[in-house]
Amino acid sequence: MKIKMTINNVLKEVEVSPSEFLLDVLRRLDYMSVKKGCDTGTCGVCTVLMDGKPVLSCSVLAASADGHKITTIEGLRDDPEFKAISQALLDEGADQCGFCSPGLILNVYAMKRDLKNPTEEEMKKYLVGNLCRCTGYVPQMRAIKKYFEVRS
């Protein structure tokens, strides 16, 4: 079946099977920043924005994304918020393999819009679905707090 999605502000018509999930379609279309980790809704590395909201692309049927707006990290390349978040992570050495970074950055991007002056506890609750196998979250939290300019 044919579906239409606006991916990173470009309208695309894509042929998908009704059984396919959005993650596999995006990777098939070469949006390689979108990673596949668990494929069961647990790790958050497949996060993309759908109509601006962070979702697990491994758990969204591609067909149900028909007519929606999808944003991956590639689409935020020139976005100042994206640059600030990734710079903060780099500054704190919070990326090792970087596998989890695209998903984390997209969720932090959405969190900035959703939460006003969040406490550290609120940040942790918002980011609970973004797992990292390498860094142990301490440098990530440090970076994110700096980005939010939160005093601990």
Report which of 64, 78, 133, 138 is spatially closest to residue 103, judged by C-alpha positions: 133
Report the distance separating Cα 64 and Cα 3, nearest Å. Answer: 9
- 3 state SS of 147: helix
Is residue 41 close enough to count as binding ligand FES by CB under 6 A?
A: yes
Residue 63 binds which one of ligand FES, another protein, ligand FAD, none, with CB within 5 to 8 A depending on kind? another protein
**Three-state SS for 76?**
helix
Q: Which does 4 bind (CB under 5 to 8 A by kind): ligand FES, another protein, ligand FAD, none?
A: none
Q: Work out whether 88 is an interface residue with another protein (CB under 8 A).
A: no
Number of residues that bind ligand FAD (CB under 6 A): 2
What mask of x and - would describe binding to ligand FAD in positions 17 to 46, judged by CB under 6 A? ------------------------xx----
Indicate if the alpha-carbon torsion angle 147, 148, 149, 150 is positive or negative.
negative
Helix %, strand %, coil % of the chain (to 5): 40, 15, 45
For ligand FES, the binding residues in 91-120 under the rule CB under 6 A are 95-100
Q: Does residue 37 interact with ligand FES by CB under 6 A?
A: yes
Residue 8 interacting entry, from another protein, ligand FES, ligand FAD, none, C-beta within 5 to 8 Å by type = none
How far apart CA 97 and CA 78 sit, in angstroms, is 23
Least distance between ligand FES and beta carbon 116 (Å): 27
Q: Which of residues 86-145 bind ligand FAD (CB under 6 A)?
A: none
